[in-house]
Amino acid sequence: MSDHLHFNLFTMNSVEHVSPGSWTIPGDQSHRYTDREYWTDVARTAERGGFDAIFFADVRGIYDVYDDDRDPAIQRAIQTPSNMPQALVPAMAEVTDDIGFAVTRSTSYVHPYQLARELSTLDHVTDGRIAFNVVTSYLESAAENLGMGDRMEHDERYDRADEFMDVCYRLWEDSWEDDAIVRDAESETYTDPENVHAIDYEGEYFTVPGPHGCEPSPQRSPVIYQAGSSDRGRRFAATNAEGVFVSQPTKEATRDYIEDMRERVGDRGRDPDSLKFFPGIVVITGETDEVAREKHETYKEHISVEGTLSLLSGFIDMDFSELEPDQKVEHIETDAIRGTINAFTKNDPDREWTVEEVAQFAGLGTTSPVIVGGPETVADELEAWQEEVGVDGFNLKEVTRPGSLRDFVDYVVPVLRERGLIREEYEGETLRENMFERRGLPDGHPGADS
Ligand SMILES: Cc1cc2nc3c(=O)[nH]c(=O)nc-3n(C[C@H](O)[C@H](O)[C@H](O)COP(=O)(O)O)c2cc1C
C-alpha cells in the first residue's frame, strides 16, 4: 500500500464555500464559478499536483437561521448562489486523465434508484473516477422547498440513509453480472437477460424492484465518502464509508476521532485500516514564511463576521445573532451538524470561545486547522499530521480561488514530492485504484457482501 499522502481539493460550485468574505480579496475569482473554463483550469491544476480528487460540497436550501432571515447570507453569497456539482464533472473529466471527482449528494431528498443511475452514468463517463460523498442534509429550508414539510429528525435521516445505501449497493453490485452484455448480432442479443437480476428491495423507506437501468460502470459502486461526526453519523460511516472527511480543529481531537472510528469499523467486521481519514485543512503559503504570514494577515482582514455567523448558524441550526459578540459559546444538542458546535465546546475543555472568536477562527475554513508558512514549513506540518495523528491525507479547503490551490501546487507540492509524500504518477486507472489499490469495495463492506 502506498504511504504517500492523498489530497482532495474541497470546493463548491458557488461563490463562497467555507471562507466567508474571501470573494472580496483582490484577485479572487470565485465569481467565475459559472464559467466552465474556471473549472477545467482547476481540474488541470489539481491533477498537476497529483490530487486524488476534486471534492465538491453541495447543499440544498438557504442559510436563513441567522437573525431568522435569509438576507444576511444572500447578501454575502453564503453558499448561495450555487449550481449543481455533478454537472461540472464531464467538462473536467474531458481535460484530465486521472483525477477523480467526489460529488456530494443527499440521501434525504432524492430517491436511491435515481441517484444510483446518476452516479453509474458519471462513473461511465469518467472511466471510473467518481466518489459519492453521502450527506443527510441539515437545512430546514431545503425540505420546505422540496415540498417535504419539516426536515426529518437527525437520527432518522441516518436511518433513511442506511436503507438508501443498501438499495444503491444492490443496484450497483448485484443487479448486472459482469458478462451480461454479449453484443451478439447473430442471435440479436445485446444483453443476456439471464444475467440481469431484479433486486426486489422492500424496506421501510424504499421499495425498489429493480433491475438497475445501467450496465456496470468501471467501479460499479463509486468510492464512498462520509463526513458525519455525531455518534449516529459515525455509526453510519463505520458501516459505509471508505474515506471520511474529518472536521476537528486539533491534532488531539482528530487522533481521538480516528481511534474511535477504527474501533467501530473493526466491530463491523471490516479491516480497520480499510478506512482512510482526511482532515480538512487550510494552507496559506507562498515563497517564504514571511510572504505566507502577510497573505494570512490580508485574508483575516477580509473575513466576513456576519457571513461566517450566518454559515455557522445554518450548520448548527442555532441563531448566533441572539448572542452578544463577547458571549461564551456553550454546548447545545442540535438537529443539524453536531460536530460543528462540538469542535468549539468539547475538544478543548480549558478553552472558552466567545462568539467573536468563533467567527474569527471559522472565517478561514470553518472548523479546520490553518497552516501558515513557506513550502518547507507547510510540508513539515503536513508530515507531522501523518506521523503523529495517522491521517491518510487532507481535504484542502480554499480561502482564495483559485489562489489557494495554485499556491499549494506551485509551492508545497514540489517539496512534498521530494520527500516522497505526493505521487509523481497516478498508480491506477480508477479513483479507487488510486486511493486503495483495488478495484472494488473492500471485504466486509455491506456493498461487497450484498
Ligand atoms: C466536514 C463536513 C462536510 C460536510 N459537507 C456537507 C455538504 O457538502 N453538504 C451537506 O448537505 N452536508 C454536509 N455535511 C453534513 C453531514 O454530511 C451530515 O449530514 C451532518 O454533519 C449531520 O451529521 P452529524 O450530526 O453526524 O455530523 C458535512 C459535514 C461535515 C462535518
Residue 180, domain member (yes or no): no
Main-chain phi, psi angles of 11, to 5 degrees: -140, -175
Domain harbouring 83, CATH code: 3.20.20.30
Q: How far apart, in whole angstroms, are the C-alpha atoms of residue 366 and residue 358?
A: 9
pLDDT in tens, 366-388: 989 999 999 999 999 999 999 99
pLDDT in tens, 59-90: 988 999 999 999 999 999 999 999 999 999 99
Rounded to the nearest 5 degrees, what angle is found at the Cα of 99, between the Cα atoms of 61 and 51? 90
Specify the pLDDT at position 331: 65
Centre of ligand 1 to C-alpha 244, Å, is 11
Decide if pLDDT at 403 tops 70. yes
Q: Which helix (H) or strand (E) holds 377?
A: helix 375-384
If you take atom 29 of ligand 1, which residue's CA is the nearest one? 227
Residue 183, domain member (yes or no): no
Ligand 1 neighbours by CB, cut-off 6 Å: 57-59, 104, 106, 135-138, 227-230, 233, 245, 247, 280, 337-339
- The position carrying cell 474571501 is 22
Residue 161, domain member (yes or no): yes
| Residue 414: burial class (beta carbons within 10 Å; 0-12, 13-18, 19+) | middle
Residue 177, domain member (yes or no): no
Q: What's the number of domains the chain is made of?
A: 1
Which residues face 138 on adjacent strands?
none
Decide if pLDDT at 48 tops 90. yes
Residue 193, domain member (yes or no): no
Residue 173, domain member (yes or no): no
Centre of ligand 1 to C-alpha 227, Å, is 5
Specify the pLDDT at position 418: 98
Q: How far apart, in whole angstroms, are the C-alpha atoms of residue 445 and residue 450?
A: 9
Contact in structure between 153 and 335 (CB atoms under 8 Å): yes
Supply the mean pLDDT for the chain: 93
Bond into 402 cis (ω within 30): yes
Binning pLDDT at 50, 70 and 90, where does residue 336 land? low
| Minimum-distance ligand 1 atom for the alpha carbon of 336 | 22
pLDDT in tens, 167-205: 999 999 999 999 999 999 999 999 999 999 999 999 999
Residue 190, domain member (yes or no): no
Centre of ligand 1 to C-alpha 57, Å, is 9
| Minimum-distance ligand 1 atom for the alpha carbon of 135 | 17
pLDDT in tens, 138-161: 777 888 888 887 778 889 999 999
User: Of 155, 18, 176, nearest to 82 (Cα)?
Assistant: 18
Bond into 81 cis (ω within 30): yes
Those residues whose C-beta lies under 8 Å from the C-beta of residue 23, and which sit 6 or more positions away, are 15, 16, 30, 31, 77
Which residues face 284 on adjacent strands?
372
Strand 201-202 versus strand 189-191 pairing type: unpaired
DSSP code of 58? -
Residue 404, domain member (yes or no): yes
Sign of the C-alpha dihedral computed for residues 66, 69, 72 and 73 taken in this order: positive
Domain of 137 in residue numbering reads as 6-167+214-449
Top-confidence residue, 148 or 425: 425
